[in-house]
Structure 1
């Protein structure tokens, strides 16, 4: 499985821990994030991850910024992207089960690194339930 990850200055520590976990599990990782705590613009990284998901170059994406909101909004501008802002493993699981989310957004200033890693693990191992949820997911796309 191939995963794209992008982060702004709020998330270098989060990205490092997540990438280590992903690589230990054998995932291929495309890194668009910064490794610096110097201020950068989250859309620059969110668009890169979302474009890879939109173009089906990767299976899933992970985006990280301070609140998670800005980078999630950026990612969701792309067709076929369903980016879910998650702050618990339960929400990460439901985002996959009910919404077929293909990008997880992590709020670095409101979650711990360990919690973020757990959310990503949960997100990636959870399948979309389909059924009654499929019709709803199909209605998300612009017509």
Structure 2
């Protein structure tokens, strides 16, 4: 399984920890994230290529990280086939996959989530399957609205 990952300067530490975890578990990684400590950058510059890679079907899932997680999720959700979910708790990771079929997880770097909790959230996200059924009908309505309103 190939995972695309992108982060701004606030997410560098988490990105490295997540990459190490993914490698340890046998995942392949395409890293679009910023890699330097101490320099500030703009999150869209790293989230766009990550989301585009997933949108084109080149990665199975994406992981994006910015200060609040909101800007990264908003950026990623501009792509037609992306369902990016802002996740900061294990329970939300489960529901993002089971009910929303999220294909990108957006994580906040500034809200003191412990490294082991971030890793557990990522693990849960990647290992949880979409339930389908009534949730499939709902997620199809998201794409339908997008495709009819976007030129």
Q: TM-score range by the shorter chain?
A: over 0.9
Q: Normalization by structure 1: what TM-score?
A: 0.98
Matches within 5 A, 1:1-143: 1-37=1-37, 38-110=39-111, 111-141=113-143, 142=146, 143=148
CA RMSD of aligned residues (A): 0.7
Query: Larger Cα Rg: Structure 1 or Structure 2?
Result: 2
DSSP 3-state at the match of 2:99: helix
Query: How many angstroms apart in 2 are the aligned matches of 1:117 and 1:42?
Result: 21
The more displaced of 105-114 and 119-128 is 105-114
Q: Which runs of 5+ in 1 are unaligned?
A: none
Deviation at 1:112, TM superposition (A): 2.1
DSSP 3-state at the match of 2:78: coil
Alignment coverage as a number of residue pairs: 143
Q: Normalization by structure 2: what TM-score?
A: 0.93
